[in-house]
Structure 1
Amino acid sequence: MDLLTHILDTVRLKSSLYCRSELGSPWGLHFLPQSCAVFHVLYAGNGCLRIQGDSALRPLHAGAVVLLPGGEEHFILETPDAPVFHNLRLDQWGDCALMRWSDRPTAVLLCGTFDFAHPEMFPLLKQLPDVLYIPYDEGSTLNRILALMAAEAEAARPAREIVLRRLADILFIQIIQRWVELEGINQCGWLGALHDPVIQEALRLIHTQPAHPWTVASLAQAVACSRSAFAERFSARVGEAPMTYLTRWRMQRATLLLREQPALQIAEVAAQVGYHSAAAFSKAFKREFGVAPRTYQH
């Protein structure tokens, strides 16, 4: 299993497509903030995006995908002065609603969310920009997924909701992959590091074996690299030192164990995240989160 698959399994991606809206000119939609990532696909028509509190307008063209990792309050407008339907929530019509706002639609908009059960364990989310814009590309795999989603959203077939959720899961991964292609590996932080075979392997070892007594030297040896060259390369690619990253991942893994396995003793949690002493683990945990693991657990 590759590292990104392992992390997506851990954070438990849950995707939802809430509505397919057919809009007639002039149109404008105001979306309230969400506690998860929000995506829109302007399947037909043209418009613009504006984030609440920011006067800048970002043009949107047919086939474009927009991802707001932080779920910020925002507007999608046909034109800057279009009349607006205010205070919309993506879940207010339930899953997979087909909204026909006009008998003569000039735009079709798909709206949904990407939610994570454990977002703190997904380093990529912290490194994404406020808005990801993926332009239409006829030959891309992403476009084929969008075409399937648009067709399924309009159909009235059994199990439509399940099909759309699975397609939306694929859409998230395709958006991220396409973003890396557009931005370039060196501009994509943690995700770009996955394209460096040495650092990818080091990250895989950290994520899949947090209980191992890793040091910079042992990680460097495991990926066949000198200690100094590895430490410099890891910091440049990931944005922090290997031991800092390791400690943070161990603490995040510990929070998952404490929440989901409350019967575990603190010493057992400590052992599973690489600490031989419950006291040392408790000290590191409190330094990271401001509370003792026992308090966090209850």
Structure 2
Amino acid sequence: MTTPTASTTPNVAAAIDATTLVHRTRSFRSVSAVSAVVFLVVVGGAALLAPLLPLDPTTTDLAIRWQPPSAAHWFGTDELGRDYFSRVVYGARISLTVGILAMAASTAIGVLVGLVAGFAGGRVDDLLMRFVDFLSSIPWMVLVIVASVFLKPGLWTIIFVISVFSWMATARLVRAETLTLRERPYVRYAGYIGVGRPLVLWRHVVPDAAPTIIVAATASISTAILTESALSFLGLGIQPPMASWGSLLETAQGSLQTAPYLALIPGVLILLTVLSFNVLGDALRQSVGEGGAS
């Protein structure tokens, strides 16, 4: 009977430490994801229910202009004496609307182009990808600004512009996933027995590519919100009397010394919202990766 040597004895302490590290990492990810979801639910709920709340973003009172945050005005008042909390809540409606609708449109375009390019292959793939390369080679802000100059600024214009010029990354991801999925045995067998390509895509490729599409869509929301904020900051986005977080930043430029909170509040909300969507997308990506590995 042989006696176990030090080299063959399992390192129990190291295994416990590694397991503890994994659990802590997953716990941290869970806390971050839950915090992101809670923040997005609170902001989205406030924006959705804004018309039902006793908020009026348009009433002016010059006697209380430039008031700092207080119990009467949680976020203070602006240069016209308007309640800034009301304007921020209604600005959230615009920013989130742009982010969600632009994401939906750009994701639909990107998924369609990626599926067709990846599944068709050959000249169709080359043609579509060269078009994607051409659009990607031009700085996106230049494209958006040029398009915004020729179109009348407004909510639907900004949604249209962001949607048309932000789908290329999604198309690349979906194409890469489709190139892999089309080589799967069940996909090839479906084509072999005569199932039409549209049906194969819908029944087999799209469901398996759904995790990639979801992650890409989550990232697209962040991109759309940042793009809208940048354009509104430059005066090419949302126009008065409507207000978004980006337009609130643009309006606050002239009052950074007297009322810095006018820029700080929408800026922090943009930062936290984009960060929350990114954390949520990263959590989805990791959960999908773990699910595939298991």
When the two structures are superposed, what TM-score results if normalisation uses the length of structure 2?
0.25
Structure with greater proportional strand content: 1
Structure with greater proportional helix content: 2
When the two structures are superposed, what TM-score results if normalisation uses the length of structure 1?
0.25
Structure number with the bigger relative contact order (C-alpha 8 A, sep ≥ 6) is 2
Structure ID, larger Rg: 2
